[in-house]
Chain A
């Protein structure tokens, strides 16, 4: 069963909630990155605090690895059940490194390591995850100094835990070296010393940091998986960057708070998932009517109702697109990777402020929970222009202008009064039932949509310029499709990814016109974006590759499905 890895490797750790799977995910990805490897990690977990079966997949590659793989090269299970849980993804090629005796696992392609006995010798079974981490790091030939230095950082706030954990790593490392020397597993993936200076963040952090670059002053949220990650990140950064973080009593309060914040001059956002957002809908309509901006992050998960709380989906595009009663403009962005999340979350605030509308950032569980190394960011071009106007006496909040945008004042800044009303209103903001004014105000609001459409972000096209097959995707499928395209090695095929889902510039139709076959890829059952492309651009999607079992596409799976579709 000797195996040699030169390009990339996928290592999966599995166990039950509470066994510290996340701790080793954090430890391993950071140490391997410090050592100069490209790393990617994504987790899959159940909606519970203890028990069940959770797993984390760590991919390491010579080139950048940025998507989930359905292939497991090495599996380290910490429970017997988690092997059963992953049985569909374990192949005859998978090598299991496990405490066979304690877990009572019977598998031919296995290396028996008594993780639990070693952990007990150190003092507690809980160290078994760290022992396992040590074994893996030895297989990568990572120098101990690199390991210790990262562990000291990770355990900086709990110095009393360092010695035992280092002992655990060392014990695991010894065994890893033996496995390596026996030739069973040989990892010879090329390193790149520049990678150690890369940043390593997950999707939630990228959305939060991007929002901060967009001037986010406050966040209001009711916790809901998987949208909570952004709230947690902003809370963590709030002290250093002066952000108001408030946990609302419900989602309805959250969005009204955010709108109240914008009204009084603070750039605000909400973060939630589909079910929580469903409660916010009236707030979206309010934002549209009173032309007070709001930024809404929705990390999608499968529905309807409570659905699969900890799984992934792209099912809420329609919800975002059609949310809120009445007709008013909005913009929807969906980042495809971490760099885009940093950029689009910032742009979301700019757009909200400029057009005075609700703006969405659509991500999903897979996106917010995955992380990989990216290059350092450059914000030198960010201006963060403040568009708040100092009001004059007789200020009219809704003064009719050519492009529909009225200068936005805030209370307490200038001599004027800022009057906003959820009823139809006149230029001052006072409620009216004058139907001529109604038409003018409705036209004014909707005219902003034309401008948004004109300035819509360009989609990105990758692959053969002279394509016959065009594969469309949005959101987190970007990196997966990119990898599939590479695997496909098919000429005449290109992919197109839309960072902005709505509104679209009608001019984007040209990308579809030259394709003979158009295939879409979405994590839902109805092809929501495919339908939108028909509606907005009259683009005909010939084949839809859809997945709605709660898990993301893997590059291998997507490659196969594209092959069939072409």
Chain B
């Protein structure tokens, strides 16, 4: 098992010029993801794709050894969904920060969930914009003063957990970058879930967010207990709406829903990914010529 972690490490890892601040939660998430994947024998760097948008979190694929699509700001979900749809043999992870996923990509977030694509959506949620130096993000707490929101944020805080459950997400979890052991287990379950899986990962921004620190996250979160029934949607919503104390763990899951690609007619009789299929030009020609 030990050397499988090396599989996901770049050969030039030691010389990599990482763009994150020392102490950033992103380092921890990078290591957790590597560890989780190394414990999943079915996944190799070659059969998975890491799709990201723009932001500090979105740079994660560059410090990783795997297939990568580092696209545009907010657009990782449309890309990730269709990579999976045209080749269901690939494991697809869509990973970015909360500004990318919930702000710029908010519309895609809502509608991706409705499709229930079999992808994992990892969101680094540090409640601030890091790369652009400290403006409010969709999840910034009310009252937070920033160089733009000089009188403090007064917009309602975006609630990704409640939104995801409401839109019919089939796996909704919250984790913390400060707890590698439990977060790794949550991510593994998310990846193995057959359908859309959201993991909102709480993470401090050591440079620009002086409110939601490692200490703050520890004091303001708790783990759902072992007897918690994650299949009860109304209970899950109640937990999601409790923003005083943030629940960690799998808040909601539903394993009865078919994934997006499983509902597509292209896979009804033929399970092969699209790139392996031959186009029947002869058949097309007679089809065109039948349109008399």
Contact = CB atoms under 8 A, between A and B. Distances in A.
A250 B107 CA distance: 8
Interface stretch (A127-135, A376-384, A475-483): A376-384
A213 B281 contact: yes
B50 to A, nearest CB: 9
Interface stretch (B22-30, B78-86, B149-157, B193-201): B78-86
Given A215-B279, A257-B81, A417-B67, A411 B111 contact: no
B90 A411 contact: yes
Contacts of B264: 244
Nearest to A201: B291
Interface in A309-342: 342
A377 B79 contact: no
Interface in A332-355: 342
A246 B77 CA distance: 14
A253 B78 contact: yes
Contacts of B289: 199, 376-377
Interface string A151-179: 00000000000000000000000000000
Contact of A217 (B59, B67, B110, B274): B274
Nearest to A373: B292
Contacts of A39: none
A540 interface: no
Nearest to A412: B90
Nearest to A210: B288
Nearest to A413: B275
Contacts of B108: 249, 252-253
A220 B169 CA distance: 22
A220 B46 contact: no
A418 interface: yes
Interface string B263-292: 011100010011101011111110111011
Contact of B79 (A239, A243, A257, A384): A257
Contacts of B90: 264, 411-412
B68 A257 contact: no
A419 B48 CA distance: 12
Chain A interface size, under 10 / 10 to 19 / 20 to 34 / 35 or more: 35 or more
B104 to A, nearest CB: 10
B72 A217 contact: no
A417 B70 contact: no
Contacts of B82: 218, 220, 246, 257-258, 260-261, 264, 266, 268
A282 interface: yes
Nearest to B45: A417
A184 interface: no
A16 B123 CA distance: 52
Contact of B287 (A218, A240, A421): A240
B122 to A, nearest CB: 17
B6 interface: no
Interface in B110-149: 110-111
A431 B83 CA distance: 21
B184 interface: no
Contact of A260 (B81, B89, B287): B81
B72 A417 contact: no
B253 interface: no
A536 B267 CA distance: 46
A239 B71 CA distance: 31
B65 interface: yes
Nearest to B17: A433
B284 A241 contact: yes
A411 B83 contact: yes
Contacts of A413: 275
Chain B interface size, under 10 / 10 to 19 / 20 to 34 / 35 or more: 35 or more
B273 A412 contact: yes
Contact of B62 (A213, A256, A268, A421): A421
A283 interface: yes
A558 interface: no
Interface in B17-60: 45-49, 51, 54, 59
A411 B49 contact: yes
B72 A282 contact: yes
A15 B198 CA distance: 52
Contacts of A266: 82, 86-87, 274-275
A557 interface: no
A53 B71 CA distance: 46
Contacts of A246: 82, 85
Interface in A55-97: none
Contacts of B160: none
A200 interface: yes
Contacts of B266: 238, 242-244
A265 B275 contact: yes
B69 interface: yes
A256 B71 contact: yes
Given A242-B277, A411-B83, A260 B78 contact: yes
B110 A249 contact: yes
Interface stretch (A359-367, A422-430, A448-456, A500-508): A422-430
A431 B86 CA distance: 26
A259 interface: yes
A379 B287 CA distance: 11
B67 A388 contact: no
A379 B285 contact: yes
Given A286-B72, A378-B285, A411 B67 contact: yes
Interface string A203-214: 001000100110
A253 B67 contact: no
A220 B49 CA distance: 21
Given A213-B281, A417-B66, A256 B274 contact: no
B292 A198 contact: yes
B75 interface: yes
25 contacts: A201-B288, A205-B291, A212-B279, A241-B287, A243-B266, A246-B82, A252-B107, A253-B75, A256-B75, A260-B86, A263-B79, A264-B83, A264-B87, A264-B90, A264-B275, A265-B273, A286-B72, A379-B288, A411-B48, A412-B273, A414-B46, A417-B46, A419-B67, A423-B70, A431-B59
Given A215-B279, A242-B270, A248-B78, 19 more contacts: A33-B292, A201-B291, A217-B274, A244-B274, A253-B77, A257-B81, A261-B86, A264-B87, A266-B82, A283-B72, A290-B71, A376-B289, A377-B285, A382-B281, A384-B279, A413-B275, A417-B46, A422-B71, A430-B62
Interface of A: 33, 196-201, 205, 209, 212-213, 215, 217-218, 220, 237-244, 246, 248-250, 252-254, 256-261, 263-266, 268, 282-283, 286, 290, 342, 376-380, 382, 384, 386, 388, 410-423, 429-431
Interface of B: 45-49, 51, 54, 59, 61-62, 65-72, 75, 77-83, 85-87, 89-90, 107-108, 110-111, 264-266, 270, 273-275, 277, 279-285, 287-289, 291-292
**3 nearest A-B residue pairs (beta carbon):** A265-B275, A260-B79, A249-B111
